[in-house]
Amino acid sequence: MSSTHVSELGLMITPEQIAEMEANVDDISFEAAAEEEKATRHDVMAHVHVFGKQCPKAAPIIHLGATSCYVGDNTDLLVLRKGFDILMPKLIGVISRLSKFAEEYRSLPTLGFTHLQPAQLTTVGKRTTLWLHDLLMDERALRRARNDLKFRGVKGTTGTQASFLQLFNGDGDKVKKLDDRVTELAGFDKHYGVTGQTYSRKVDVECLNALASLGATVHKICSDIRILANMKEIEEPFEQTQIGSSAMPYKRNPMRSERCCSIARHLMTLVGNCLQTAATQWLERTLDDSANRRITLAEAFLSADVILMTLQNITEGLVVYPNVIARHVAQELPFMSTENVIMAMVKAGGDRQVCHEKIRVLSHQAGAQVKQHGLDNDLVERIKNDAYFNPIRHQLETLLEPSTFVGRSPEQVTEFIQQEVHPVLALYEGIEQAPVELSI
């Protein structure tokens, strides 16, 4: 608070006291504070005592009417908000890069899976929009958690503002004005209407819920990438000199995605810790939250930061292998196309039930070739060689064109990016995320 704000509400605070504190505000002796804390066993009072020695004129009014949680909790709220401000542009960097990837591969047919078994076709871009959809939910959750943060403000030892009411000789309006003014000077629009000694620890829960949910999204995305890497359809970046295994020189392990999954799992567990802390706060507060929060809050934001940076690095260098994808499609598409074949035969005058039985028999024979003998799917050749299907033989290539099996996937990608991704990106216009290079 600068000297222009001295005694706004009538307290006896001189310009000299303010000037003395301002002159020493960055001159922090952590060594002296550590020694003081050994004696007092109180972190805030250790700094108050040391600061008082540095500012003898201001010493009588330092921490006037306040409590440790005025310092600690208000600082935590500033740090939490700043933490979101650091994370959100990184999240937008990932969303931006994935949206370009989705658009690039909007029309590339690929096998879609349910139960991790081949189902109908989708496209590489459409699958990417599923990742983007969840990331957009995370952006909304982080933005909401950030914007919902309020300041603890000036509430006193149990939240009643009794000490400040005494300082202002019972003038409640001045106490309210002090609460509002300190909140404003700290850069917040609002303060919590009621607190105990601390702000409600459910605030921490809301913040970590958003971060843990982001962890779940990143874990899902990177698990998908690991599965696709196993199938050799999509790979994360792999340096020319990178070693995949100390024993197996041919390996290309998805170590970036594995790292994201590893840290994301840790991040997801931390919200449970916050829930336990919120649940076990007694009456106006207990101190068993303090040491826990110093670990949990910091680890949550650091974990979210590292998985976002790593995921951005992954999305900047995703490698797609269309030929492998096409081969996998070709292995399964004949089975998926049987309904089209039946419909074509019916249009050519065939009996649906007879056609269905023929296809069933041929499909089982082709399936045996694949599963029992490890050979390619030869269902199409079996259909071509069966005289029953002569009326539609000339249509078979068209009936097996992969692009006709992806539905509206390409259009869905474009519509989703235009209608849902672009408006969110516009909120961060002018904020650019530089490429991420991993050092480990």
Q: Which residues are catalytic?
A: 115, 245
Tokens at residue 137, please? 């939910």
The H or E element that residue 109 is part of is: strand 109-114
The H or E element that residue 303 is part of is: helix 290-315
For tokens 């019916």, name the residue.
Answer: 346
**C-alpha–C-alpha distance, residues 223 and 251, integer Å:** 18
If you ran DSSP here, which 8-state letter would residue 27 be given?
-
User: SS3 string of 152-168?
Assistant: CCCCCCCCCCHHHHHHC
Tokens at residue 56, please? 């003898």
SS3 110: strand
Secondary structure of the chain: what % helix, strand, coil (to 5)?
Answer: 65, 5, 30
Q: Measuring CA to CA, which residue among 325, 143, 134, 146 is closest to residue 219?
A: 134
Tokens at residue 315, please? 């999305």
For tokens 């009538």, name the residue.
Answer: 10
Tokens at residue 69, please? 């949680």
Whether residue 252 contacts residue 238, with contact meaning beta carbons closer than 8 Å, is answered with: yes
- Check the CA dihedral 106-108-109-110 and report its sign: negative
Whether residue 128 contacts residue 98, with contact meaning beta carbons closer than 8 Å, is answered with: yes
Q: How many CB atoms lie within 10 A of CB 204?
A: 26
**C-alpha–C-alpha distance, residues 7 and 68, integer Å:** 23
Tokens at residue 331, please? 């292995």
Q: How far is CA 22 from the centre of its chain?
A: 39
Residues comprising the chain, all counted = 440
Alpha carbons within 13 angstroms on the beta-carbon side of residue 396 total 16
